Structure 1
């Protein structure tokens, strides 16, 4: 099918108006809220897009091959683990991300989950609706003086660290790639972090090295009653080990915004575990970050498409 304008495929159902303004010279084709691999292959074969903006789903070699003139895959956000980067490199397709564009949103969501866990907000709210008044029996956990352990110290982790200091917590972080640590945040080995943190928050990318880094062996190092928060990637955690740690009391709470397989479909195991707080991978999506991520993704597309093919490798 021939188009009057070159096509950009969006693996979602919308983009911020500010992003669409930047892409006014292109036809925008939306793949829908939950596009499958077959959906994306069909749309690529039909429209032959020059670019794909990735909001949902994964982009693999089969999808790339269905779009023979594809030049850039631009993530609507920072996590590019959903893109087969090796396949893209072999096909000289640039992979772009928008680091930092949703840092405030994710950091705030992580703290919402930390506080909800420490203060038992979900069960208390539920019991009040059932007619209970637990003031005489309930004691929440105070965070002042406790240790916050961050695994990953990029734009998001650094913001979480700053908020932790405002709560007068001791803040430590494990990140072998971090060049700078925020004031008041100390570097720690993973082993020391797991052994000493009262709250552990994950903010690292999903790679071969970090896949299921939270497992039976690492959870066994944790203090009894630790709170674990994951607003990064579900694949960082071994779910079987997490269930066991929650059941045994190694973890008092887990708060999860991302999962190894998304979306979750009912029934799923987390529905029946009371000390787990769930949200549908929306930590990075706010009124402001939606615009920031869209504009960054669109700008990255335009940057690559404005570059002659022979120079594209230099900006990938």
Structure 2
């Protein structure tokens, strides 16, 4: 009679084949495409996993208490704000993340949103489909020589900085935890970033300290017409304040990939704003990043289990 394999719970409906190959000594249970916290708790109670790979939804104290064998919670990506890290620490459960696994994907998406804003890609496409030819009346923003302020200088922020530098932009960066930086990133305090940046791009985790970092006061301290890009976490922005700043012209345009409440439900105040370009928190979702994140999440969890 074969021994019962320990269980990995994946809070999603799938995992890359290369990641599954690493977990051949374990049972893998999937929570589905849109699991709720209650569903995750029920699965923990039913299967008592030794590890949880977090793709969607939140993992809190109730799930941890429902899985007495749980040793590690591994994020399928870099942001661990959906995991109750204090509850995990109190129970001796390690929390690990696939830092850098989706850096290329997210940085590229941030650049795509910046370019869409600066060049009015979505608006001009819609106008042309309506039969208009705006060559004589429309002027886009040229990014060469402009200043971009980056908040967060981890793997994603630094990769985006390299792209901005290659386009001839001046790069300011704020990150109190970043050590050595390439010479094309100028360290700057937030007050300097608000005052001098033509573009502000967010690449930091969401913490209680930086929630609603972009708000009426900080947006008001920015250059008039600043472009805002967010591929990090929606909670970094006070959304009503951003909307008001867009409507007043204080913010020229915004490219947003993450939101305070996800998935975004219709109708939403952002939907009627032509100068806000939206995408469904998909910056890190590429075929390549899917494999990289899955493999990293599996390896990180196994490393903890194997001591």
- The TM tier, using the shorter chain, reads over 0.9
Counterpart contact for 1:152–1:204, Cα < 8 Å: yes
**CA offset digits 1:53-98 (Å, max 9, x no partner):** 0001111101111111111100001101110000001111110101
Number of the residue aligned with 1:33 = 33
Distance 2:247 2:168 in 1: 30
Q: Shift of the alpha carbon at 1:240?
A: 1.2
Partner of 1:262: 262
| Inter-partner Cα distance in structure 2 for 1:180 and 1:241 | 34
* Residue-pair matches, total: 305
SS class of match (2:81): helix
Residue of structure 2 in register with 1:310 after alignment: none
What's the counterpart of residue 165 of structure 1? 165
Give the CA deviation at 1:287. Answer: 1.4
Contact 1:61 1:84 in 2 (8 A): yes
TM-score, with length taken from structure 1 = 0.95
Counterpart of 1:311 in structure 2 is none
**Over residues 85-134 of structure 1, what are the superposed CA-to-partner deviations in whole Å (9 max), with x where a residue is unaligned?**
00001111110101111111010000000000000000000011111111
- Structure 2: how far apart are the matches of 1:63 and 1:78? 21
Q: Which runs of 5+ in 2 are unaligned?
A: none
1:146-161 matched pairs, under 5 angstroms:
146-161=146-161
Q: CA deviation at 1:4?
A: 3.3
Alignment of 1:4-83 (within 5 A): 4-83=4-83
Matched residue of 1:40: which SS?
Answer: helix
CA distance, structure 2, for counterparts of residue 154 and residue 41 of structure 1: 32
Distance in 1 between residues matched to 2:284 and 2:183, nearest whole Å: 24
- 1:126 counterpart residue number: 126
Separation in 1 of the partners of 2:37 and 2:159? 35
CA contact (8 A) 1:161 1:182 kept: no
The yes-or-no answer on 1:247 pairing with 2:247 is yes
Could you tell me how far 1:208 is from its partner in structure 2? 1.3
Give per-residue Cα distances to partners, 1:248-294, cap 9 Å, x unaligned.
10111111101111111212221112211111111011111111100
CA distance in structure 1 between the aligned counterparts of 2:291 and 2:172, rounded to whole angstroms: 32
Q: CA deviation at 1:42?
A: 1.0
| Structure 1 residue 183 displacement after superposition | 2.3
Alignment of 1:127-142 (within 5 A): 127-142=127-142
- Counterpart in 2 of 1:183? 183
Corresponding residue number in structure 1 for 2:207: 207
1:288 aligns with 288
Partner in structure 2 of residue 222 of structure 1: 222
SS across alignment from 1:299: helix
TM-score, L = length of structure 2: 0.98
Match of residue 196 from structure 2: 196
- The alpha carbon displacement at 1:33 in A equals 1.1
Whether the 8 Å contact between 1:105 and 1:284 is mirrored in structure 2 is: yes
RMSD between aligned residues: 1.0
